[in-house]
């Protein structure tokens, strides 16, 4: 029998669709259902490598974890990875098929709906339930033509929709009622109810508000969800939380990272944030890198040349070089590793605009971008100390030079990364390394800190998913919500 499906759409971006999808996936799994996540179209530079090949959004990898599944490209058949303000790399079924500007994509995206349906059909044939996550908001009616992410998909697939409003942003009544007002009646009929998310305080105080929304829309409320602290312990998804913690006393390590304009896979930092002996902070554009930082980390980027230029515009190149000359430690991951070398060349524009530029020259390496994109999970060990490590690679470019003779890791029998002669400057292509407890502790010890022996990062994410599911189940009429799911091809009664 074909699986049932339910779609979560939002009144806007960042209303909590991703985490609520993960919560519902975990709740369905607890009930003994075979459940899978699905997001027709995602736009994010935070990606995950799938063991079967290809890449998907990190949010869908987390949702897969909630389902007890390995990441698969069918969970996110269309992924857009922005390279500039107007151009993005298009990834279909996990494979990069080229880059295009926004106008061209908007004109031709409807052609991808058949590819989206291929993945959806495979999932509904293999599982009891599919929880679908929309993108942005269906109220953006200027984008409705050729839509594949919201109502365009829901109507084509025949999947009922639950609409989510974020009360923390304010104006939730207007956003929900306004969505009903602007939608085409046939689209609005796909919505079977709504959820209020991120409520602070006593939900009973919003009872009149719920009644007002129900009266004006005709949609029932499935629940008012409180602000759930468990979300702070989940991997970062589509936006960096701008936290600037004070530096605690007692020799705590201060690790800082500049926020690049096309930064990718910044959830690499999440395990470090949970270490009690680490004070981690992002350095926002326009601010200098703190002089008393112990370690500077340059995270990955979707456009190495573009962000190398952005880094110089902020004056961060001078800060980083001065830090290194004073004996400070610098770690570059993926695109950040490429920036630490002497030169980056991209003659064919495979990673953004064509060109070349000098790097920071902190490592004796050079990178040339190539058309072959490396996407794969991997495991191995740290060259120094032999700590075990696992993670994934997603990158274009080949890095060569003298310092690669001092690699950071041995992955699948192949050397990865580079270290300076002093060992204070390090670079690697490996994402997710800090999720490996043994490596994270060894690395912190190497730089003069101490890892929390009690921290099992993987288990902490599982625990956070369980806590998230508990919070949602306590606030939502989950039986009623799951009962709203229908087999594909469903059409509302009008």
Torsion of CA 449, 455, 461, 463, to 10 degrees: -150
CA quadruple 319, 322, 328, 331: dihedral sign = positive
Task: Pick the catalytic residue from 127, 323, 395, 431.
Answer: 431
Compute the distance between CA of residue 57 and CA of residue 91 in angstroms, rounded to an integer. 10
Contact between 264 and 81 under an 8 Å Cβ cutoff? The reply is yes
Name the strand (E) or helix (H) holding 481.
helix 478-483
Which secondary structure element, helix H or strand E, spans residue 207, and what is its range?
helix 207-217
Catalytic residue among 50, 334, 382, 395, which? 334
From 192, 282, 191, 205, select the one nearest 241 (Cα to Cα): 282
334 belongs to the catalytic site: yes
- Is 431 catalytic? The answer is yes
Copy the structure tokens of residue 437.
């407890």
Residue in 475, 6, 401 with CA at minimum distance from that of residue 226: 475
Tell me the HSE value of 414 on the side-chain side, using a 13 A CA sphere: 9
Query: What does the alpha-carbon distance between residue 339 and residue 311 come to, in Å, rounded to a whole number?
Result: 10
What tokens does 72 get? 């698969």
Yes or no: say if 250 and 288 are a contact pair by the CB < 8 Å rule: no
Which DSSP string corresponds to 250-308? Answer: SS-EEEEEE--TTEE-GGGGHHHHT-TTEEEEEE-TTSPPPTT-SEEEE-EES-HHHHH
Q: Which residues are catalytic?
A: 334, 431
């Amino acid at each position: 029998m074909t699986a049932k499906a339910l779609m979560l759409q939002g009144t806007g971006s960042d209303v909590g669709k991703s985490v609520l999808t993960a919560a519902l996936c975990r709740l369905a799994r607890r009930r003994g259902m075979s459940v899978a996540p699905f997001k027709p179209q995602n736009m994010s530079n935070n990606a995950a490598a799938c063991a079967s090949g290809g890449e998907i959004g990190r949010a869908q990898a987390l949702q897969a974890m909630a389902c007890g599944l390995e990441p698969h490209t069918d969970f996110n058949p269309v992924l857009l990875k922005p390279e500039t303000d107007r151009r993005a790399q298009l990834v279909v079924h996990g494979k990069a098929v080229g880059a295009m500007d926004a106008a061209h994509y908007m004109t031709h995206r409807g052609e991808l709906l058949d590819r989206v349906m291929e993945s959806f059909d495979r999932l509904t044939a293999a599982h009891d339930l599919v929880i679908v996550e929309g993108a942005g908001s269906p109220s953006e009616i200027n984008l409705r033509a050729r839509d594949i992410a919201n109502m365009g998909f829901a109507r084509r697939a025949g999947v009922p929709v639950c609409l989510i409003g974020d009360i923390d942003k304010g104006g939730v009544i207007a956003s929900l009622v306004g969505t009903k007002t602007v939608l085409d009646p046939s689209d609005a009929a796909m919505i079977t109810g709504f959820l209020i998310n991120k409520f602070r305080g006593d939900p009973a105080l919003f009872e009149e508000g719920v009644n007002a929304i129900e009266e004006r829309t005709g949609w029932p409320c499935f629940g008012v969800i409180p602000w759930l602290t468990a979300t702070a312990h989940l991997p970062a998804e589509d936006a960096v939380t701008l936290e600037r913690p004070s530096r605690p006393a007692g020799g705590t390590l201060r690790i800082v990272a500049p926020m690049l304009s096309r930064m990718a896979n910044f959830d690499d930092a999440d395990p470090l944030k949970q270490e009690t002996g680490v004070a981690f902070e992002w350095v926002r554009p326009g601010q200098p890198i703190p002089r008393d930082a112990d370690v500077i980390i340059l995270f990955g980027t979707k456009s190495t040349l573009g962000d190398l230029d952005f880094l110089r515009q902020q004056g961060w190149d001078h800060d980083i070089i001065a830090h290194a000359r004073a004996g400070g430690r610098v770690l570059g991951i993926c695109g950040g590793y490429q920036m630490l070398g002497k030169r980056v060349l991209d003659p064919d524009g495979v990673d953004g605009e064509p060109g070349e530029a000098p790097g920071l020259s902190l490592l004796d390496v050079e990178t040339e971008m190539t058309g072959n994109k490396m996407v794969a999970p991997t495991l191995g060990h740290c060259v120094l100390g032999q700590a075990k490590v696992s993670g994934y690679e997603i990158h274009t470019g080949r890095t060569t030079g003298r310092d690669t003779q001092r690699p950071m890791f041995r992955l699948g029998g192949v050397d990865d990364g580079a270290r300076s002669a002093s060992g204070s400057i390090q670079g690697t292509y490996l994402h997710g390394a800090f999720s490996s407890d043994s490596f994270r502790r060894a690395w912190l010890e190497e730089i003069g800190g101490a890892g929390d022996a009690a921290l099992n990062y993987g288990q902490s994410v599982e625990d956070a998913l369980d806590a998230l599911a508990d919070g949602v189940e306590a606030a939502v009429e989950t039986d009623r919500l799951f009962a709203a799911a229908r087999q594909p091809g469903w059409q509302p009664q009008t």
